[in-house]
Each structure stands twice: as structure tokens, then as C-alpha cells.
Amino acid sequence: MRAMIIAGNWKMNKTNAEAVELARALIDVVGNREHPRVVICPPFTALSEVGKVLDGSRILLGAQNLYPAPSGAYTGEISPAMLLTTGVTYVILGHSERREYFAETDAIVNAKVKLALGSGLRPIVCVGEKLKEREAEQTERVVGGQIDGSLADLGPDEIAKAVIAYEPVWAIGTGKTATPEMAQEVHAFIRGRLMARFGGVADSVTIQYGGSMKPENAAGLLSQPDIDGGLIGGASLKADKFAKIVDSV
Ligand code: 13P
């Protein structure tokens, strides 16, 4: 059985006071859930305080990035060990916004994934095609390449600890969602690719969908056989909306 995981990616939103308030509100509505697994990913500055608020609840803490070195002269960057001290267990890597605005390549994402796994963090590895690529029927080539590159040199034991998030770039923050059928098609493709590379362990890997997921469309997406959760942006910033998505599992 693979884990169903609903994760909130707060992106560059919430001051510390706002983050604590949202975390407390989430504990009230979904703090005791065993199923699905709930993860929230505040900005770095709020991790420590939110981590303390979550202590004793079932909600897990995630980060949105890390730097692929244990320590050193990397001004402005954050190491896995720093994340671990705040209580982080998951880390989003290779988000399309990082790939787009910070020129993250598959090789960089791969280095981050390896260090995350080596440090005991569970990476949520993001992949997804742009609109132009979908229109040119390049979705499988692009997503397949991102899967291969971002997960290079890993073994089955490592992939078992990773989560994949399929986030079609054209659906992120646009209000446009992939239909459940469109998303399922790509999720099945991703699982097949993982199966070919890593064998039967692929069956136990959580593959989340992300891109304008909201209470109105969550149930349809989450009922697909290869969609094992969601990575939620906008709708994760409001406790009631996020709780409704969790409830629709
Ligand atoms: P939205 O839910 O705001 O479209 O964002 C999705 C996303 O990028 C999650 O990582």
C-alpha cells in the first residue's frame, strides 16, 4: 500500500505570526488525521516556530528547498542539517518555480535529492511540462527526462523514500487544472518509468498531483488509481480549503 499524502506548499507566503496562526488552525481541523498523511511546507523563516506548534499533532513539517552541501560558504542557503533541527521530514525539490526562476537543472535537483536522502529527509521531487510542450505532444519526453535526470544514480531503497509530484506548469496558479483523466495518464506514465528503472518498488511510491487543486476538483483527481495525493499551493493558505481537500481523500 502506498501512502496518500496531501502537502501544502505555502511558497513565499506568511510571516511568522501568520504561519503560526495557520498551523494552529490546521491542527484544529486536520491535526489528528492518520489518513491521509498531511504535510505543510512553510517558508524557511517560519519552520522553527511552526515545528514547535505541530509538535504533538500528526501534521508533518516540510521545507521548500535545500542547498546540496552539508555546510560552507554558500551565502543565503540552507543545509539539510539546519532543516532537521526544525523538525522537517519532507523537502520539496525541483519545483517548477525553482527550475524557472532559479535555473535549477535536473543535475542540480539530483544533487539535492541525493543529499536529502543521505540526510534522512524525504524529497518531494517535482516534475511537469509547460503548455508549449504539452501542445507539441512532448509531455512524456519532458517528464520522462526530468524523472531520469532528477533521480539519477538512486537505487530502489532510496526511491522507496521519495515522493514524486506531477505538476503541469500550465496548471500552477492559473486556475486551469488537468482533468482527472489527463493527470492519470501522466501519473501512469511516471509509474511505468519508475517501474522500468527501479522495479516493483515503483508500486509503493507516492505520486502527487499539483496545479490548481482545490476542494471542487480534489475528489475527482484523488480517485484516480495512480494519483496518491496532492501538492497544494494557493488552496493550502486557507485552513478551511485545505481541510476540505484532506477530507475529499
Ligand atoms: P497552485 O495550487 O497554487 O496551483 O500551486 C501548485 C503548486 O505549485 C504546488 O507546489
Domains of the chain (ranges, CATH numbers):
5-248 (3.20.20.70)
Establish whether 140 is a catalytic residue.
Answer: no
The pTM of this model reads 0.98
Closest CA to 123 of 87, 94, 155: 94
Q: Which residue is it, cell 508549449?
A: 132
Nearest-atom index, ligand 1, CA of 211: 4
The residue whose CA is least distant from atom 7 of ligand 1 is 233
Q: Which of the following is catalytic: 97, 133, 167, 187? A: 167
Q: Express each pLDDT in 140-154 by its tens digit.
A: 999 999 999 999 999
Which are the contacts of 184, defined by CB distance < 8 A and separation ≥ 6? 224, 225, 226, 227
Q: Express each pLDDT in 27-72 by its tens digit.
A: 999 999 989 999 999 999 999 999 999 999 999 999 999 999 999 9
Establish whether 135 is a catalytic residue.
Answer: no
Nearest-atom index, ligand 1, CA of 97: 8
Residue 233 Cα to ligand 1 middle (Å)? 3
